[in-house]
Amino acid sequence: MASRPPSNPLNALPQREVTPEMRRRTARTFWLILLAFVTGIGMMVAVLAWQGRGARDYARSVREAVLAGNPSPNASYSVGCGQVKPGALPPGVTSCEVKVLAGAVSVHLMYEGGRAFKLSR
Q: Which residues of the chain have pLDDT under 70?
A: 1-3, 5-6, 9-10
Sequence-distant (6+) residues with CB within 8 A of 98 are 62, 63, 66, 78, 79, 80, 81, 84, 105, 106, 107, 108
pLDDT at residue 99 in the model: 93
User: Cα separation of 55 and 72, whole Å?
Assistant: 26
pLDDT at residue 116 in the model: 87
pLDDT at residue 6 in the model: 67
Is the pTM higher than 0.85?
no
User: Cα separation of 60 and 109, whole Å?
Assistant: 11
pLDDT at residue 41 in the model: 97
Pairing relation of β-strands 93-101 and 104-111? antiparallel
> What are residue 39's phi and psi, to 5 degrees?
-65, -40
pLDDT at residue 30 in the model: 98
pLDDT at residue 90 in the model: 86
pLDDT at residue 96 in the model: 92
